[in-house]
Structure 1
């Protein structure tokens, strides 16, 4: 058994298809099939159920797959440690952030980091908070700037920014002109929220429940601009971070503070606990911590 056997087997198990695995690995399908068969012969167990159109892991295959992932991660960590020692100032970072945070983070923070570390490359992935948390968990990105709540058992989280959520209403709404309100005053309103893929959706629903009512969600969208336009068209109200208000630039919209309870939008940087972080990733974390968003 060698690393190549495990690498090929893991890719087949992940793709559930020899053809797809061969395309990703750039290795012929017969070569992969032979490697997997050799692994099965060596372990004297059947690892793959090939009886259906889509390949499935057997019980033994699940065990080998899970252990192989750990072995391959350990090998990757060895290379990372060595690279760090050999070439300290170079590196690659796969980072995720929400589009809304991009407005706050660019250009100053990342531009400043790039100027200080010109040979560290950063690959950016955009997504919702839930999508980014999943990608950090799976290891496809090293770290992410997202929002609370996050899984504290799985992730380290570093607070970066906290701001209030405000209510936005159209200029002719019954609440227009108020400086502040209690969240309970919105119990009879129609809410326009981000979709359930976004943590903000859950934060708003939870805050409403804690204020004694279940929000009536009339519309959902994954686009902030659409939410703003729908509120301006008198289709409902919404709760958004205060920093987002100026983005709409719509005179028909008014923002109202929430006095009771105050609902926070907490921006955090997350990364996997007990997972090796490269020198480059650690430097970026330290740089972001030392600069105000």
Structure 2
């Protein structure tokens, strides 16, 4: 299976049209069709359902698309790293990030690195814990920012300063908006929108035996989308503070959980990882930053 043919396959899958894909690839339509037929023969599976004008993926085709995207992303990343070896004038760094106000520390260090090396580019990938951990394990990410409930034993890591506060995002005209905080029993009859990653550890521990009595109407892995559902009256969002607009002009407000629940973030990388020069520069910058914050004593909570 050639990488070139995988790129052809992905282009056809994205376009949904062989002719358009061939034009984008700057090859003839018969050549592209022949390559795709040979790929199907090599794998022994039909990858496309062909119509008069368009094509769509079979189940086997969708599986290959996911694998091909991962393979080619790894190939491109490896080529970039080798091009950057021996010089730090530029390079690409890929970082997976959980949603958090604490990402501000990472952004500040990226800015400092780019001030010294303007050609270094950073690519952020937002996702939930399992997604980020999987991509880090596969080598698709150089670093990840993970919430503390992850098993960190298989990583090297730096604790980021501060912590995020959990609470409820709800409409200001909601009957419960007058509350100053929410205890577990206050939420048992409330339609809740929960983050998928939060249900695994922190929130389950906080709710304890009451977790099975929650009325969860939706889950999401991005706070922005959860905020939109909340604005439309679908339910109340369990979330970190400062991820959703709760300013005076917003229809939403934030109320903390009681007892207080906070989560720390960690900047992590695989043990024994070999970094490109650009990634090494950022890692050293993060180490210096976190060490300086630790020397200053307890960091302020966001």
1:248 aligns with 246
Residue aligned with 2:85, SS: helix
Tell me, in whole angstroms, the C-alpha distance in 2 between the residues paired with 1:4 and 1:29.
Answer: 16
Are 2:241 and 2:254, in contact at CA under 8 Å, matched by a contact in 1?
Answer: no
Are 1:17 and 1:55, in contact at CA under 8 Å, matched by a contact in 2?
Answer: no
2:215 aligns with 216
Q: Write out aligned runs for 1:272-291 (5 A).
A: 277-291=275-289
Tell me, in whole angstroms, the C-alpha distance in 1 between the residues paired with 2:177 and 2:10.
Answer: 59
The count of aligned residue pairs is 276
Are 1:193 and 1:201, in contact at CA under 8 Å, matched by a contact in 2?
Answer: no
| TM-score, normalization by structure 2 | 0.58
Tell me, in whole angstroms, the C-alpha distance in 1 between the residues paired with 2:133 and 2:178.
Answer: 38
Q: Write out aligned runs for 1:7-18 (5 A).
A: 7-9=7-9, 18=18
Tell me, in whole angstroms, the C-alpha distance in 1 between the residues paired with 2:81 and 2:214.
Answer: 50
Are 1:204 and 1:239, in contact at CA under 8 Å, matched by a contact in 2?
Answer: no
2:166 aligns with 165
Give how far 1:120 is off. Answer: 0.7
RMSD: 5.5
Tell me, in whole angstroms, the C-alpha distance in 1 between the residues paired with 2:70 and 2:254.
Answer: 51
Q: Which runs of 5+ in 2 are unaligned?
A: 294-302
**1:106-143 residue CA offsets vs partner (Å, 9 max, x unmatched):** 76333222223222122445x45369639946887654
Give how far 1:159 is off. Answer: 4.1
**Range with bigger deviation, 203-212 or 219-228:** 219-228
2:114 aligns with 114
**1:234-271 residue CA offsets vs partner (Å, 9 max, x unmatched):** x98665435669x6345996745533xx6342323456
Structure 1 residues 114 and 273, CA gap change in structure 2 (3 angstroms): same
Q: Write out aligned runs for 1:123-162 (5 A).
A: 123-124=123-124, 127-129=126-128, 133=132, 136=135, 143-147=143-147, 159-161=159-161, 162=163
**Range with bigger deviation, 145-154 or 276-285:** 145-154
Tell me, in whole angstroms, the C-alpha distance in 2 between the residues paired with 1:68 and 1:219.
Answer: 29
Are residue 267 (structure 1) and residue 265 (structure 2) matched? Answer: yes
Are 1:10 and 1:69, in contact at CA under 8 Å, matched by a contact in 2?
Answer: no
Tell me, in whole angstroms, the C-alpha distance in 2 between the residues paired with 1:273 and 1:13.
Answer: 36
Give how far 1:205 is off. Answer: 5.2
Structure 1 residues 187 and 13, CA gap change in structure 2 (3 angstroms): closer
Tell me, in whole angstroms, the C-alpha distance in 1 between the residues paired with 2:50 and 2:67.
Answer: 22
**1:150-174 residue CA offsets vs partner (Å, 9 max, x unmatched):** 5879987654354442467879959
Structure 1 residues 157 and 47, CA gap change in structure 2 (3 angstroms): farther
